Chain A
Amino acid sequence: MDANTHAGVPGLYNPQFMDHVSHPDYRYVLEDATHTHEGVNPSCGDELTFYVRIGDDGTIEEASYQGHGCAISQASADMMSDLMVDKTPEEARTLCRTFMGMVRGEETDAEKIASLEDAAMLKDISHMPARVKCAELAWRTLDEMLAETQE
């Protein structure tokens, strides 16, 4: 067995990560949301609803989420919500693609990964193929929501 396959696991559940799980900043219903979208991960049973309010200037003013799931999907949603404030839909979708590439091990560019701010700490998910879908759920759902918005 390759010892590296789970190299990132013990470190992943670190205090900074757990803070997003135990004390989320964006886990609430956004009453004046302009867009909502539901994301489901059938293998985990994760079910998250995402809320976004896009302002008159076309940027994301606020993002939040509700629902239940594993620590990875919850923390990932919290980090994402924080990152998306003041981003245009195009910028947001670029970040979503960067994140999904990172957790799949396809995006290794340090500068791009740094643009994910706190969410960059989920890089080691790329060593945990069984958990990629948990980490991606929030980002995939936001990307789908914004794609519909732009249509």
Chain B
Amino acid sequence: MLTDPQLAAIAESPYKADFPLLVQNPQIAFLDSAATAQRPAAVLDAQRTFYETMNANPLRGLYRLSVAATSAIEDARGRIARFIGAIDEKGEPQASQIVFTRNTSESLNLVANTLGRQVVLGEGDEVVISIMEHHSNLIPWQQLCRETGARLVYLRMDEDFRITQQEIDEKIGPKAKIVSVTHVSNVLGVENDVAAIARRAHEMGAYMVVDGAQSVPHIGVDVRELDCDLLAFSAHKLGGPMGIGVLWGKADVLDAMPPFLTGGEMIDSVTETDAVWAPVPQKFEAGTQDAAGSFATDAAIAYLESLGMEAVEGRERALATYLTDSLAALDFVDVIGPTDGSRHIGAVSFDVHGVHPHDVSSILDASDVCIRAGHHCAQPLLTELGYQSTCRASVAFYNDKADVDRLVEGLKMVWQVFNGR
């Protein structure tokens, strides 16, 4: 439960004014940031600024405009590296460890198809993931295992939605080659102890991959503290543009991985019969990159930094607690996941007794309340939980108490429609 000062702090949002869509649509209660965040004006301005002042094909041109476009990408790498703690002993960001992709899914497909094929050779090898994975951190590994004959092993949750140390020790053994786990579940909102999983993975000689799509936007993520080898996330969930994904990797791991896509700007030299790959990160970035998107991602992270990730996390934890408590107080609603709101990073799944989540979402839409309904691209998790689909509300720092109150009012209307007469 929140204290009165905590409630007062989320009563209004000083941040909504920074988001044009929220300003132009004050009637909307946007509670689907786990699917995609809203974009602050600074990001939209950056996208436009790129095309108006520095548009040229990056890396290729020898004239100043192209140099400016190249800088837009390279500066963004530096800011992203610093944001996730990818810095050396002197505190310098390791920009070359940041690979741009289209989204988290592509980052993870890249890893499965490069590192995966390098180290997962066949029968006797194991890939370990968790039952909480989004399909994008599940299907690439599932298919790799099917092709190679390796075994796909699932870390499962206890009744309190935790992956225990005992489970970690039992499931990650000497046959494990790759462990790939989500930092925060997109359905349950719970945070996994990725550092503990990474420790065990490394003890067993396996690589540790982290899906940070639901954590990087909401909590301060530091790759040195997690001690993972690779981290994937998307710009659009942290206020950046759609179509920009990030893959961070330790330098030696990225260096050893073969390229994923081949083509323009990812080579040092090409002959009729052979090619020499460019160094990381260009080795993984075939073709013209979305430089404007990278520039706008830079702006999105600069915006978050101006707020401070501690402030963002604190406010979002308060909002998630208020959301969880509000849902748990409705006798016709079950919270799916911990009822302790402080364990939710952004997302809270729930069930309205006897009402299909798609009907819940459609009726809430009539009151301009936006939530997600469905399987959330995590069907094995939903099966484990015993649901076909769920409702999911998710908060970001720009939400306020009124948004959650609107959801509660809307849910009462849903109940009225189905049971009112």
Contacts and interface: CB of A to CB of B under 8 A. Distances in A.
B382 to A, nearest CB: 9
Given A45-B388, A45-B389, A9 B25 contact: no
Given A13-B417, A15-B421, A45 B363 contact: no
B366 A9 contact: yes
B25 A134 contact: no
Given A18-B418, A43-B374, A131 B366 contact: no
Contacts of B356: 44, 69-71
B358 A9 contact: no
Q: How large is the interface on B (under 10, 10 to 19, 20 to 34, 35 or more residues)?
A: 10 to 19
A128 interface: yes
B414 to A, nearest CB: 9
A124 B359 CA distance: 15
B366 A44 contact: no
A121 B418 CA distance: 18
B362 A9 contact: yes
B375 interface: yes
Interface residues of A, number: 22
A44 B358 contact: yes
A6 B362 CA distance: 9
Contacts of B417: 13, 18
A131 B363 CA distance: 12
Given A18-B418, A44-B356, A6 B389 contact: no
Interface in B357-382: 358-359, 362-363, 365-366, 374-375
A45 B375 contact: yes
B366 A6 contact: yes
Contact of A128 (B362, B389, B418): B362
A9 B363 contact: yes
B23 to A, nearest CB: 13
A13 B25 contact: no
Contacts of A15: 421
Contacts of B362: 9, 12-13, 72, 128, 130-131
Contacts of A128: 362
Contacts of A68: 388
Contacts of B418: 18, 21-22, 71
A134 B361 CA distance: 14
Contacts of A12: 362
Contact of A70 (B25, B358, B365, B421): B358
A110 interface: no
A15 B359 CA distance: 15
Contacts of B365: 6, 9
A102 B388 CA distance: 29
List the 4 closest pairs (A to B, CB-CB), nearest first: A70-B356, A45-B388, A9-B366, A10-B366
Given A1-B25, A9-B365, 4 more contacts: A44-B358, A44-B389, A131-B362, A134-B358
Interface of B: 25, 355-356, 358-359, 362-363, 365-366, 374-375, 388-389, 417-418, 421
7 contacts: A6-B365, A9-B362, A18-B418, A21-B418, A44-B358, A69-B356, A71-B418
